[in-house]
Amino acid sequence: MDIPWAVARPEADQLPGSCKNWFTVQRWIDTSNDQYGVTWATIGAPLVEVGSITAETPWIKALGPTQALYSYVMNNYWFTNYKADQEGPTPFRYSLRPHAGGYRAIEATRFGIEQSQPLVAVPARTRADGPAILRIDPGLKVQPAEVIVATFKPSRDHKAWIVRLFGVGDRAVKAKLAWGDPAPNVWISNLAEERQAKVTGPVEVPSLGLVTLRAELPD
């Protein structure tokens, strides 16, 4: 199960006493064996029940192996004075991706992002109208595939690009960045978007870890 900045297996990756009657999912769930599987993107309905419909059953202490998943689309079980119904249609969207081979974290992650964050076309300003940083073509490519670009945006001071790299795989990797022309100067950055250490080669990205970069036009 995809959860914020991590992947969790029901039962196996839970602390003793954790809730097993329902689970919250960020974008996707994958169920696979060594030969084939299915990745399920649940869009707009992040609650899921595993094995059976379990929301109103007694507290589950352990989950056995299962491939049964139930989308828990609404919760009207609060024992308060809230209205117990809602008028009008309520659409929910799901996407399924059958795949050969076993579970691959990078493929499931990319599929989930594609379904939940589709590309949106909007009118663009000319480069001459925008801040200086917008007048370069970043043309960023990142390798290997186990590293995804989680954020790519202008900095708050409009003098740099802020790039956040996320390591999807189960081990740390060294990410190689290839930029467009002119290639910017790149620094390791922080949440304040400040310069830290200058980047002169590949960037080490931890497994399920984030690295923030600040890319500026050369002087």
Q: What is the pTM of this model?
A: 0.80
Query: What class, spelled out in words, does domain 130-216 have in CATH?
Result: mainly beta
Which residues make Cβ contacts (< 8 Å) with residue 209, sequence separation at least 6?
A: 166, 167, 172
H helices of 43-190, in order, are: 105-116
Amino acid at 216: E
DSSP designation for 198: B
> Would strands 141-143 and 173-178 be described as parallel, antiparallel, or unpaired?
antiparallel
| Domain map (residue ranges) of the chain | 2-116, 130-216
CA distance 163 to 187: 10
Query: In angstroms, rounded to a whole number, what is the distance separating the alpha carbons of residues 50 and 66?
Result: 7
Return the structure tokens found at 201. 């080669």
Inter-residue contact 6 to 208 (CB < 8 Å): yes
pLDDT in 10s for each residue of the chain, 219 residues: 999 889 999 999 999 999 999 999 999 999 999 999 999 999 989 999 999 998 878 899 999 889 899 999 887 666 667 666 778 898 999 999 999 989 999 999 999 999 998 888 877 666 555 555 554 555 789 999 999 999 999 999 988 999 999 999 889 999 999 988 788 899 999 999 999 999 999 999 999 999 999 999 777
